[in-house]
Amino acid sequence: MTRFNAFSLIKNTLSGHKNWPEQWPESQPKSEYDVIIIGAGGHGLGAAYYLAKEHGITNIAVIDKGWLGGGNTGRNTTIIRSNYLYDESARIYDHALDLWEGLSQDLNYNVMYSNRGVLMLAHTVHDVQSFKRHIHANRLNGVDNQWLTPEEAKEFCPPLSISPNARYPVMGAALQKRAGTARHDAVAWGYARAAAARGVEIIENCAVNAIRRNPDGSVAGVDTSKGFIKAKKIAVSAAGNSSVVMDTAHVRMPLESYPLQALISEPVKPIFPCVVMSNAVHAYISQSDKGELVIGSGTDQYTSYSQRGGLPLIEHTVAAITEIFPIFNRMRMLRKWGGTVDVTPDRSAILGKTPVKGLYVNCGWGTGGFKATPGAAHTLAWTVAKDEPHPINAPFNLERFRSGRLIDEAAAAAVAH
């Protein structure tokens, strides 16, 4: 019997309702597993699914201090793309995009993937040169990307203002038509259901206090709020908290955590056909299937584990959006939220083995975590199962910060970091 059940999907919505019990059924872990994955977000649940499906490992526990999909997976702006500059980044994000395209069919669960296209605006001569460089690099790697004139960008996205009198006039745009969006929490639910059907256990409301090691230095298991659990292998995939968890195993990570904010507007009828991103004014926008305008910002300029963020950054973001899209001037904000992202010195992920035998880590995605979900999960599962990196995630090792072979995607998000 799996530890994951229907209550897991509805308890946070309905808890407190007078017709529902105050005490929900809680899952209790076994004493030992072959693999423990810390973090029940898209990456952790996806890794468990691929371990079971492709490697035949089913004695797995996915542990989370809260509920599945309650962290950064449910706090992002749903954007999916693979138009990254460097070869290593392009490979892993395009691998993810390949998996995104068939994910609903693979999981038999509608993740609402929509390849509506991502338009990246150029406002300066430097932007134009930089984006054209991206386009040429993408084409060499087999990644679709094309240059549009301001008029072509306006045709593709009619609400866009291309007035030459704007403070940041649109001088062109890079378009990846294959990119788009997906329903963020549906991805977690889909992976959870598919993994549970293969015997994976999902233990919610179970905080990991420490990773315990054997006398020979290898992993022994985890100390949790529900007791000690033995494990042969442990993978940490806890966005925003990875450095804290890894520190308990005496593994220092080159990470800083920042609040990353977003907001949505009141819902309106369909008006916005794609995703638009602007580096110069650090903002990006799309429209959800429910009608809200989904607006994302850059990271706050201070380190923190909070999931709130400061109001000034959101004010600047909204001001930028209304300049690029004047027709949204009278829209009202419905709600805002924040996530906590791990950022490495080169703004690229860490995905692979650690110096501790049996301990693996997947972190440091910054603003790129959601779009990488299937690719990161798939290659993490390979790495855990075979105790060696997949060729795609091999460059994203922890050792690169000693050797200096960095993957410098400093402007990876196309918004200000």
Predicted confidence (pLDDT) per residue in 391-402, tens digit: 999 999 999 999
Give pLDDT, residue 64. 96
Query: Is 108's pLDDT higher than 80?
Result: yes
Predicted confidence (pLDDT) per residue in 321-373, tens digit: 999 999 999 999 999 988 888 999 998 999 999 999 999 999 999 889 999 99
Helix or strand run (H / E) with residue 268: none
Give pLDDT, residue 26. 60
Give pLDDT, residue 412. 57
The pTM assigned to this predicted structure is 0.91
Nearest alpha carbon to residue 159 among 285, 291, 315: 285
Q: What are phi and psi of 233, to 5 degrees?
A: -140, 145
Q: pLDDT category, 88, cuts 50, 70, 90?
A: very high
Give pLDDT, residue 23. 46
Give the mean pLDDT of 374-383.
98
Query: Is 215's pLDDT higher than 60?
Result: yes
Top pLDDT among 257 and 22 is at 257
Predicted confidence (pLDDT) per residue in 257-299, tens digit: 888 889 999 999 999 999 999 988 788 999 999 999 999 988 8
Predicted confidence (pLDDT) per residue in 136-181, tens digit: 999 999 999 999 999 999 999 999 999 999 888 999 999 999 999 9
Q: What are phi and psi of 155, to 5 degrees?
A: -65, -40
* Under 8 Å between Cβ of 38 and 237: yes
Give the mean pLDDT of 23-49.
88
Give pLDDT, residue 183. 95
Give pLDDT, residue 185. 92
Q: How close are the terminal C-alpha atoms of the chain, in Å?
A: 45
Give the mean pLDDT of 45-68.
97
Within 10 Å of residue 319's Cβ, how many Cβ atoms?
11
Give pLDDT, residue 29. 86
In the chain the domains, ranked by start, together with CATH numbers, are 7-76+184-254+346-403 (3.50.50.60), 118-177+257-343 (3.30.9.10)
Give pLDDT, residue 379. 98
**Using CA atoms, how far apart are residues 296 and 184, in angstroms rounded to an integer?**
14
Q: pLDDT category, 411, cuts 50, 70, 90?
A: low
* Under 8 Å between Cβ of 415 and 284: yes
Among 92-96, 128-132, 366-370, top mean pLDDT goes to: 92-96
Nearest alpha carbon to residue 337 among 24, 50, 76, 123: 76
Helix or strand run (H / E) with residue 94: helix 87-101
- In three-state secondary structure terms, 328 is helix
Question: Residue 273 carries which side chain, given as an amino acid letter?
Answer: P
Predicted confidence (pLDDT) per residue in 216-234, tens digit: 999 999 999 999 999 999 9
Average pLDDT, the chain: 90
Top pLDDT among 76 and 117 is at 117
Give Cα 189 distance to the centre of its chain: 15
Predicted confidence (pLDDT) per residue in 298-317, tens digit: 888 788 877 777 778 888 89
Give pLDDT, residue 27. 64
